[in-house]
Amino acid sequence: MRTSKQFVKSGVLAALAAGTFMACQQPAKQGSTPAAATTTGNNTATVNQGFIIAYVDIDTVEANYNYFKEKKAELEKKQQAIDNELKANVRALQNEAADFQRKAQSMTQADGEAAQRLLYDKQQQLEGKAQNMRAQYAEQEGKFNDELQKRLNDFLQKFNSDKKYAYILSYRSGASNVLYKDEQYNITNEVIKGLNEADASEKK
């Protein structure tokens, strides 16, 4: 069974890492120039006037977005409770099996077979219980992923309502297709601040 950290890493964090937030690209207005070239001495620099790409550092969002941290802690707590309950059930079944082994020689064949069937049934029930609990957890995790994605998408639509950015990409250290990033287009802190303020307003 996967641990809570594995669940969160493969589920919630993967959803964040996979989420590339894109605002609709707007066509250039008539009469406007997308890019203008300026010349200084022998150097020519291109000034971007209509196509700006920003990025959000997902590691930083995970570390500072209060909603994510709270829900992640809740999921980890639930996963730990599942682990503890199942481990206790397994220990109880193991104790019953050990007790059967001690008493087996003094049992009649019919009693021994009945005890074995009972242990087998309990084992099957425990396996079914474990599957159900994992499925319930996965459902809760999925709902969290969906809600988190919706919150991010809704916020970024409002955040970029002025169409300042043509694209807003996600970035993660060591696991990103972004080969180069200019820090002046890092909008992570603005996004985190806005997300936390939006959540705080909802709670009031």
Tell me the CA distances in angstroms from 27 to 21, 80, 166, one per residue in order.
19, 51, 10
Instruction: Express each pLDDT in 119-159 by its tens digit.
Output: 999 999 999 999 999 999 999 999 998 999 899 999 999 99
Q: Are the C-beta atoms of 191 and 159 separated by less than 8 Å?
A: yes
Burial of 159 (0-12, 13-18, 19+ CB in 10 A): buried
| Spatial distance between the Cα atoms of 68 and 60, rounded to a whole number of angstroms | 11
Tell me the CA distances in angstroms from 28 to 45, 163, 165, 166, 191, one per residue in order.
21, 11, 13, 11, 26
Q: What is the CA radius of gyration of the chain?
A: 28
Q: Is the pTM of this model over 0.75?
A: no
The DSSP-derived string for 17-53 is: HH----PPPPPPPTT--SEEEEEETTEEEEEESS--E
Instruction: Express each pLDDT in 70-82 by its tens digit.
Output: 999 999 999 999 9
Return the residue matching tokens 């193991």: 94
**pLDDT band at residue 179 under the 50/70/90 scheme:** confident
| Spatial distance between the Cα atoms of 201 and 173, rounded to a whole number of angstroms | 31
Average per-residue pLDDT in the chain? 80
Give the largest CA-CA distance in the chain.
Answer: 103
In angstroms, the first-to-last Cα distance of the chain is 39
| Spatial distance between the Cα atoms of 86 and 84, rounded to a whole number of angstroms | 6
| Spatial distance between the Cα atoms of 172 and 176, rounded to a whole number of angstroms | 5
